[in-house]
Structure 1
Amino acid sequence: MNKHVLTVLMSSAFLLTACGGDDDPIVFDDGVPKNNIDKPFVTSSEYTQDGMSAIAAESRVITYKMLGVDGTETQATALVFVPKTAAPAGGWKTIVWAHGTTGVADKCAPSQQGLKGTQYLLQQLLAQGYVIVAPDYEGLGEPGGKESHPFLNVKSEAYSITDAVVATRDYLSRQGKLVSKDWLAIGHSQGGQAVLGAAQYASRAQLNYKGTIAIAPASNLAAILQGGENAVKNQPADIQIPVLAPLDTFTSLIVAGMQGHKISVNYAQVFKLQTAALAPIAEQECSETVGLVLAKGMQDYASMPEHLNSLEGYGRNQDNFMSIPVIQNFLVKDSQPLSERVSTPLIIYQGGIDQTVPKAATDLLKATAEAKGMTIQYKVDPNLDHTTVYTNNFANFIKDINTLMPSK
Structure 2
Amino acid sequence: MKIRSTVILSTAAALIGGAGLLTPIADAAPATSIDVLPRMIDGAAAGYALSYSTTDEHGRPAIARGQVYLPSGTPPPGGWPVVSWAKGTVGIGDSCAMTTALDDGSAEDPLAVELSKPLLTQLLRSGTAVVSTDYIGLGTADAHHYLNSVSEANAVTDIVGAAADELPELSRTWVAAGHSQGGAAALATGARANIYGSASDFRGVMSFAPSSNLEAVVPLLSPTTPRIAPLDNITATLIYVLHGLRDSRPDVDVNSYLSELGRDYLAQAEDSCISELREKGIGVAPQQLLARSLSDPVMASALREYLSVPTIGYTRPVVIEQGLADTVVPPALTTALAAELVARGTRDVTYLPVPGATHYDVIAATVDDALPRILGMLH
Q: TM-score range by the shorter chain?
A: 0.7 to 0.9
Partner deviation per Cα, 1:156-196 (whole Å, 9 max, x = no partner): 011001111110111113xxx3x322110111111110000
Aligned CA distance change for structure 1 residues 256 and 70 (closer, same or farther; 3 Å):
same
Aligned CA distance change for structure 1 residues 363 and 27 (closer, same or farther; 3 Å):
closer
Instruction: Give 1:41 shift.
Output: 5.0
Aligned CA distance change for structure 1 residues 373 and 362 (closer, same or farther; 3 Å):
same
Name the CA distance, whole Å, in 1 between partners of 2:261 and 2:21: 43
Partner deviation per Cα, 1:240-285 (whole Å, 9 max, x = no partner): 4xx4443121111012223444546555323222232223211222
In the TM superposition, 1:36-47 aligns within 5 A as 42-47=32-37
Three-state SS of the structure 1 residue aligned to 2:157 is helix
Residue-pair matches, total: 350
Whether the 8 Å CA contact 1:154–1:337 is kept in 2: the answer is yes
Whether the 8 Å CA contact 1:148–1:258 is kept in 2: the answer is no
Name the CA distance, whole Å, in 1 between partners of 2:214 and 2:28: 36
Matched residue, 1:334: 306
Instruction: Give 1:120 shift.
Output: 3.3
Aligned CA distance change for structure 1 residues 269 and 25 (closer, same or farther; 3 Å):
farther
Matched residue, 2:104: none
Which of 342, 357, 362 in structure 1 is aligned with 2:334?
362
Instruction: Give 1:36 shift.
Output: 11
Query: Bigger relative contact order, structure 1 or 2, given CA contacts below 8 A and separation 6+?
Result: 1
Name the CA distance, whole Å, in 2 between partners of 1:254 and 1:193: 14
Matched residue, 1:222: 215
Instruction: Give 1:118 shift.
Output: 2.3
In the TM superposition, 1:123-202 aligns within 5 A as 123-142=121-140, 146-173=141-168, 177=169, 179-202=170-193
Name the CA distance, whole Å, in 2 between partners of 1:70 and 1:39: 14
Three-state SS of the structure 2 residue aligned to 1:209 is strand
Three-state SS of the structure 2 residue aligned to 1:391 is helix
Whether the 8 Å CA contact 1:108–1:286 is kept in 2: the answer is yes
Three-state SS of the structure 2 residue aligned to 1:356 is coil
Name the CA distance, whole Å, in 1 between partners of 2:255 and 2:351: 40
Instruction: Give 1:205 shift.
Output: 3.1
Give the AA of the match of 1:196.
L
Greater fraction of residues in helix: 1
Aligned CA distance change for structure 1 residues 216 and 61 (closer, same or farther; 3 Å):
same
Matched residue, 1:208: 201
Name the CA distance, whole Å, in 1 between partners of 2:220 and 2:249: 30
TM-score by length of 2: 0.83
Residue 64 (structure 1) aligned with residue 52 (structure 2): yes
Residue 105 (structure 1) aligned with residue 93 (structure 2): yes
Give the AA of the match of 1:385.
T
Name the CA distance, whole Å, in 1 between partners of 2:87 and 2:137: 14
Three-state SS of the structure 2 residue aligned to 1:136 is strand
What CA RMSD, in Å, does the superposition of the two structures yield over aligned residues? 3.0
Instruction: Give 1:43 shift.
Output: 1.1
Three-state SS of the structure 2 residue aligned to 1:61 is strand
Matched residue, 2:7: none
Specify every segment of 5 or more residues in structure 1 that has no aligned partner in the other structure, as ranges.
Answer: 1-23, 299-310
Aligned CA distance change for structure 1 residues 330 and 94 (closer, same or farther; 3 Å):
farther
Aligned CA distance change for structure 1 residues 112 and 27 (closer, same or farther; 3 Å):
closer
Whether the 8 Å CA contact 2:115–2:364 is kept in 1: the answer is no
Specify every segment of 5 or more residues in structure 2 that has no aligned partner in the other structure, as ranges.
Answer: 1-13, 102-108
Name the CA distance, whole Å, in 2 between partners of 1:378 and 1:88: 32
Whether the 8 Å CA contact 1:275–1:294 is kept in 2: the answer is no
Three-state SS of the structure 1 residue aligned to 2:319 is strand
Instruction: Give 1:40 shift.
Output: 7.5
Residue 31 (structure 1) aligned with residue 21 (structure 2): yes
Name the CA distance, whole Å, in 2 between partners of 1:165 and 1:264: 33
Whether the 8 Å CA contact 2:16–2:59 is kept in 1: the answer is no
Name the CA distance, whole Å, in 2 between partners of 1:226 and 1:345: 31
Name the CA distance, whole Å, in 2 between partners of 1:26 and 1:139: 18
Partner deviation per Cα, 1:34-82 (whole Å, 9 max, x = no partner): 9999897521223234x43x74332111000111233221111010011
Three-state SS of the structure 2 residue aligned to 1:118 is helix
Whether the 8 Å CA contact 1:273–1:315 is kept in 2: the answer is no
Q: Which moved more, 1:202-211 or 1:133-142?
A: 202-211
Whether the 8 Å CA contact 1:78–1:111 is kept in 2: the answer is yes
Matched residue, 1:79: 67
The structure with more radius of gyration: 1
Aligned CA distance change for structure 1 residues 382 and 253 (closer, same or farther; 3 Å):
same
Aligned CA distance change for structure 1 residues 345 and 258 (closer, same or farther; 3 Å):
same
Give the AA of the match of 1:371.
A
